C-alpha cells in the first residue's frame, strides 16, 4: 500500500514540476463541501474570525495543550541523525481576531540545536485547522537567527491557510502558507496511506498528503494517524529526509 502511494506521489511530482503548482480540486472539496483555502490566484481564503472557538480536535491533527510529540529520523543527507520535538503549549497568540494556539517545534541535529519554530494554529467551527503563521529561527554560530520563512497572517502580504481540512478527500488541494517571498506552501490529499508502523506504535489507518513548496520546489509525503497527528514524514525530491513518531507525552 505504501509502495503504491509512493509511486502515485512520484507521478504527481512529475506532473506538478511541469505545471508548477498543485491544482487538483483547487476550488472546492469533494461533493458539495467547500474548500476554504483553495489553490487559486489571486488567493482569497474564506476566513471569518467569528467562526472560531473551542479546542483543536481534528481527528487527523489534534493539538491538545500539554501534549509533546517526539520524532526521530535522518536529515537531508539521509545520514545525519535528527530529533524533532513538537510541544503544544498553553499559550495563545491573537491573530486576525482569533486566539491561536502556540506550538513549539524544535529540531536537533546529532544532539545539537538546529531549528526552533513557534507555529500558530486555530480550528474553525467546521473542524478545519488553520495555519496563521510562524516565527522560525536557525541556530548559527551560537545564536538564534530569524529565518526568512517567518510570517504572520494579517501582517504584510501574509494570509491564513489550512494545515488540515475537516473532511479531507482524495484530490483535495489547499494552500497551507501564503506570504509570497517567505512561505507559499500547498498540500494535496492522496487518500488513505494504508497501515504504517512507527517506533511509537502501528497505525492501521492513515491519511496521506503531499506537501509542496513553490519557493524551494521541495515535495514531502506526510502520513497522519487518527487521534495522533503526523506520524511519518518523507521527502520525495532532492532531500533524503525521513522522520517517524517515537513517543507522545500528554
- Give 128-157 pLDDT, tens digit per residue: 999 999 999 999 999 999 999 999 999 999
Q: What is the phi/psi pair of residue 227, to 5°?
A: 80, 0
Residue range 152-188, pLDDT digits in tens: 999 999 999 999 999 999 999 999 999 999 999 999 9
pLDDT, averaged across the chain: 90
Q: pLDDT at position 10, please?
A: 58
Category of 111 on φ-ψ map: left (φ > 0), alpha (ψ -120 to 50) or beta? left
- Give the model's pLDDT for residue 34: 80
- What pLDDT, on the 0 to 100 scale, is given for residue 6? 52
Distance (Å, rounded) from C-alpha 88 to C-alpha 86?
7
Neighbours of 22 (CB within 10 A): 23
Domain count, the chain: 1
pTM for this model (two decimals): 0.90
pLDDT digits (tens, 9 = 90+) for 3-21: 455 555 555 555 554 444 4
Q: Which residues pair with 112 in a beta bridge?
A: 109
Q: Which carries the bigger pLDDT value, residue 2 or residue 196?
A: 196
pLDDT of residue 25: 47
Residue with cell 504527481: 12
Domain that holds residue 34: 2-249
Are 22 and 212 in contact, with CB atoms under 8 Å apart? Answer: yes
Q: What is the CATH number of the domain that holds 44?
A: 2.40.360
Amino acid at each position: 500500500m505504501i509502495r503504491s502511494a509512493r509511486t502515485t506521489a512520484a507521478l504527481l511530482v512529475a506532473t506538478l514540476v511541469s505545471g508548477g503548482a498543485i491544482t487538483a480540486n483547487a476550488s472546492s472539496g469533494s461533493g458539495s463541501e467547500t474548500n476554504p483555502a483553495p489553490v487559486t490566484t489571486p488567493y482569497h481564503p474564506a476566513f471569518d474570525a467569528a467562526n472560531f472557538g473551542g479546542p483543536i480536535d481534528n481527528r487527523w491533527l489534534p493539538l491538545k495543550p500539554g501534549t509533546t510529540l517526539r520524532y526521530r529520523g535522518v536529515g537531508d543527507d539521509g545520514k545525519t541523525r535528527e530529533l524533532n520535538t513538537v510541544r503544544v503549549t498553553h499559550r495563545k497568540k491573537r491573530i486576525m481576531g482569533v486566539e491561536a494556539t502556540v506550538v513549539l517545534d524544535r529540531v536537533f541535529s546529532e544532539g545539537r540545536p538546529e531549528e526552533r519554530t513557534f507555529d500558530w494554529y486555530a480550528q474553525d467551527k467546521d473542524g478545519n485547522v488553520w495555519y496563521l503563521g510562524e516565527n522560525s529561527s536557525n541556530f548559527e554560530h551560537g545564536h538564534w537567527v530569524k529565518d526568512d520563512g517567518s510570517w504572520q497572517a494579517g501582517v504584510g502580504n501574509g494570509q491564513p491557510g489550512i494545515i488540515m481540512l475537516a473532511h479531507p478527500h482524495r484530490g483535495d488541494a489547499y494552500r497551507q502558507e501564503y506570504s509570497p517571498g517567505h512561505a507559499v506552501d500547498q498540500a494535496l490529499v492522496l487518500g488513505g496511506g494504508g497501515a504504517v508502523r512507527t517506533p511509537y506504535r502501528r497505525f492501521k489507518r492513515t491519511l496521506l498528503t503531499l506537501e509542496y513548496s513553490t519557493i524551494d520546489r521541495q515535495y514531502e509525503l506526510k502520513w497522519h494517524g487518527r487521534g495522533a497527528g503526523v506520524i511519518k514524514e518523507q521527502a520525495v525530491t532532492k532531500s533524503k529526509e525521513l522522520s517517524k513518531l517515537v513517543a507522545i507525552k500528554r
